Amino acid sequence: MPRALVLGLDCAPPALVFDRFAGVMPCLSRLRREGAFGRLRSTEPPITMPAWASMASGRDPGELGLYGFRNRGEGYALTISTARDVKFKRVWDYVGEAGKKVAALYVPPSYPPPPVRGVSLGCFLTPDDAERFAFPPRFQRTLLERFGPHRPDVPGFRADDLPRIEAELFASTRHRFEVLRHVLAEEAPDLTFFVEMGPDRLHHAFFHHFDVDHPRFVPGNPFEDVGARYYAFLDAEIEATLALVPEDTHVLVVSDHGAKPMLGGVAVNELLVREGYLHLKEAPSGPAALVPAMIDWSRTRAWAEGGYYARVFLNVKGREPEGIVATDEVEPLVAELTRLFESLPSPEGAPMKTSARRPRDRYRKTRGHPPDLMVYFDDLNRRALGKVGLGAIHLPSDDRGPDACNHDWDGIFIAKGPGFDGVGELRGPHLLDVFPTLLEVMGVSCPGGLAGRSLLRGAGAAMTMPDP
Ligand SMILES: [Zn+2]
Measured in angstroms, how far is the CA atom of residue 320 from the centroid of ligand 1?
31
Peptide bond into 109 cis (omega under 30): yes
Instruction: Tell whether 169 and 294 lie within a shared domain.
Output: no
Residues 144 and 270 placed together within one structural domain of the fold: no
Residue 468 lies in a domain: no
Ligand 1 center to residue 198 CA distance, Å? 10
Res 459: pLDDT: 66
- Same domain? 237 vs 378: no
Measure 41 CA to ligand 1 centroid, in angstroms: 13
CA of 49 to the centre of ligand 1 (A): 7
Find the 67 Cα to ligand 1 centroid distance in Å: 14
Q: Do 174 and 80 sit in the same domain of this protein? A: yes
Residues 94 and 170 in one domain: yes
Asked whether residue 88 falls in the same domain as residue 168, the answer is: yes
Would you give per-residue pLDDT tens digits along the chain (468 residues)?
789 999 999 999 999 999 999 999 999 999 999 999 999 999 999 999 999 999 999 999 999 999 999 999 889 999 999 999 999 999 999 999 999 999 999 999 999 999 999 999 999 999 999 999 999 999 999 999 999 999 999 988 888 899 999 999 999 999 999 999 999 999 999 999 999 999 999 999 999 999 988 888 899 999 999 999 999 999 999 999 999 999 999 999 999 999 999 899 999 999 999 999 999 999 999 999 999 999 999 999 999 999 999 999 999 999 999 999 999 999 999 999 999 999 999 999 999 999 999 999 999 899 999 999 999 999 999 999 999 999 999 998 776 767 788 999 999 999 999 999 999 999 899 999 999 999 999 999 999 999 999 999 876 444 444 444
Q: Which pLDDT value is given to residue 159?
A: 81
Evaluated on CA atoms 176, 181, 243, 34, the torsion sign reads negative
Distance 284 CA to ligand 1 centre (A): 32
Scored b (16 or more CB within 10 A) or e, 314-341 reads bbbeeebeebebeeeeeeebbeebbebb
Inside any domain, residue 466 = no
291 occurs within a structural domain: yes
Specify whether 174 is located in the same domain as 206: yes
Q: Domains in the chain: how many in total?
A: 2
What CATH number is associated with residue 66? 3.40.720.10
Query: Is residue 464 assigned to a domain?
Result: no
Instruction: Say yes or no: 188 and 281 in one domain.
Output: no
441 and 334 housed in the same domain: no
**What separation in Å is there between the alpha carbon of 17 and the centre of ligand 1?**
15
Interval between CA 132 and ligand 1 midpoint (Å): 23
Residue 172 shares a structural domain with residue 52: yes
- Residue 290 in contact with residue 387, Cβ under 8 Å? yes
Q: What is the SS3 string spanning the chain?
A: CCCEEEEEECCCCHHHHHHHCHHHCHHHHHHHHHCEEEEEECCCCCCHHHHHHHHHHCCCHHHHCCCCCEEECCCCCEEECCHHHCCCCCHHHHHHHCCCCEEEECCCCCCCCCCCCEEEECCCCCCCCCCCCEECHHHHHHHHHHHCCCCCCCCCCCCCCHHHHHHHHHHHHHHHHHHHHHHHHHCCCCEEEEEECHHHHHHHHHHHHHCCCCCCCCCCCCCCCHHHHHHHHHHHHHHHHHCCCCCCCEEEEECCCEEEECCEEEEHHHHHHHCCCCCECCCCCCCECCCHHHECCCCCCEEEECECCEEEEECECCCCCCCCECHHHHHHHHHHHHHHHHCCCCCCCCCCCCEEECHHHHCCCCCCCCCCEEEEHHHHCEEEECCECCCCCEECCCCCCCCCEEEECEEEEEEECCCCCCCEECCCCEHHHHHHHHHHHHCCCCCCCCCCCCCHHHCCCCCCCCCC
- Of the residues 387, 402, 417, which one is the last residue of a structural domain? 402
Q: pLDDT tens for residues 371-420?
A: 999 999 999 999 999 999 999 999 987 767 677 889 999 999 999 999 99
Expressed as residue numbers, the domain containing 380 is: 264-402
Quick one: 308 and 355 in the same domain? yes
